[in-house]
Amino acid sequence: MIIVTGGAGFIGSNFIRQWLAEKNEPVLNLDKLTYAGNLASLADLATHPQYHFQRGDIGDRTMIAKLLTATQPRAIVNFAAESHVDRSIHGAAEFIDTNIVGTFNLLEEVRAYFSDLSEEKKSAFRFLHVSTDEVYGSLDAVAPAFTETHRYEPNSPYSASKAASDHLVRAAHHTHKLPVLTTNCSNNYGPYHFPEKLIPLMILNALNGKPMPVYGDGKNVRDWLYVTDHCAAISTVLARGRVGEVYNVGGKNERTNMQVVNTICALLDEMKPRADNKSYTSQIAFVKDRPGHDQRYAIDATKLETELGWRATETFDSGIRKTVAWYLANGAWVQSVVSGEYRQWVETQYKNTGASL
């Protein structure tokens, strides 16, 4: 079997769904169930015979050691992390605990487990670390997209903590010969995305008649990848990636935030027109910028494409249409994840902007 950490989050839950649909191999989801982890995102898989769940923290070494001994996985895919830049600006302690110390503790126990495997099992074993393009810092408008050799220049507490985890993973390979793989992906979007992030927040604020809060001038650029394309890339790297290598993942879909928000408004105008027939664009509100806001991210995925044959299958137009349709059809999921903690966060983050839910 494989162990997936953070499988109750946005990308992990999509990964497990895709894995069980395509592969005949059990998966154990180890997740702490923070505010961002929702078993509702896996409700359709709860009784799948090859799906298993254990609640726990990647930093809990005793539990990790027992779990590895009991389940004898042939791979670990590490999604577990604190993932929201704005939260890391309000307070970074949990980012340090999970993204750095948690990853370190997980690596230590995986190393101990790995060292006792037979030579045959050792050669098949992989530790795949899921990371982000944000570790490379920010690009100006004309700079070439990030390649795997771009220097690390993390700018937010979130990206700094992910950068540290990437370095620990690299060191576990270089020094201790743990067979690791690292993927650095651009911004994901799609079903089961927690509504603190740009795309689901905008869809839900629009539908709830609330202001749609655009930070600064809305000209920051992100390179958007539909989540199932990211999951397919992770499976590809896990199966065929060269041990110790880093693979960038991205779909060449650079958009300014205003382009993204206007596209969402146009789709909602078509699929769920407002009662007064005004466009949803009338709800767009420019609010105070994020401190240290990275201007532009863009990924060069040539290595993954040429070496391993991965290609993104969704364009931004096809993926965003599917995403808006999914949120329109899945109000029950939204209700189940929008807890008291979530409402408190929105209140803190958007107070004085007139943009709170």
Residues between 29 and 58 with contacts to ligand NAD, criterion CB under 6 A: 31-34, 36-37, 57-58
Stretch that binds ligand TYD, among 36-44, 62-70, 197-205, 303-311 (CB under 6 A): 197-205
* Cα distance between residue 126 and residue 114, in whole Å: 10
Look up residue 293 and give its two tokens.
Answer: 């806001």
Which segment (79-87, 116-124, 171-179, 232-240) binds ligand NAD by CB under 6 A? 79-87
Q: Looking at beta carbons only, is 73 or 251 nearer to ligand TYD?
A: 251
Q: Which of 4, 12, 228, 337 binds ligand NAD (CB under 6 A)?
A: 12
Alpha-carbon distances of 355 from 273, 292, 326, 327, 335, rounded to whole Å:
21, 21, 23, 20, 19
Candidates 215, 326, 333, 342; binder of ligand TYD (CB under 6 A) is: 215
E strands, 173-256, in order: 180-185, 188-189, 212-215, 221-223, 225-226, 246-249, 254-256
Footprint of ligand TYD on 279-298 (CB under 6 A): 290
Upper half-sphere CA count for residue 44 (Cβ side, 13 Å): 10
Asked if 133 is an active-site residue, the reply is yes
Cα 158 → chain centroid? 12
**DSSP H helical ranges for 116-156:** 119-124
The active-site residue out of 133, 229, 300, 314 is 133
State yes or no: is 22 an active-site residue: no
Among 57, 109, 134, 254, which one carries the catalytic annotation? 134
Burial class of residue 315 (count of CB atoms within 10 Å of its CB; 0-12, 13-18, 19+) = middle
Q: Name the minimum Å distance from CB 28 to ligand NAD.
A: 12
Q: How many CB atoms lie within 10 A of CB 20?
A: 19
* Number of CB atoms found within 10 A of residue 305's CB: 16
* Residue 9 touches ligand NAD, criterion: CB under 6 A: yes
Binding site for ligand TYD (CB under 6 A): 85, 187, 197-198, 201, 213-215, 220, 222, 257, 290
Catalytic residues: 133-134, 158
Binding site for ligand NAD (CB under 6 A): 5-6, 8-12, 31-34, 36-37, 57-59, 79-81, 83, 98, 102, 130-132, 162, 185, 187-188, 194
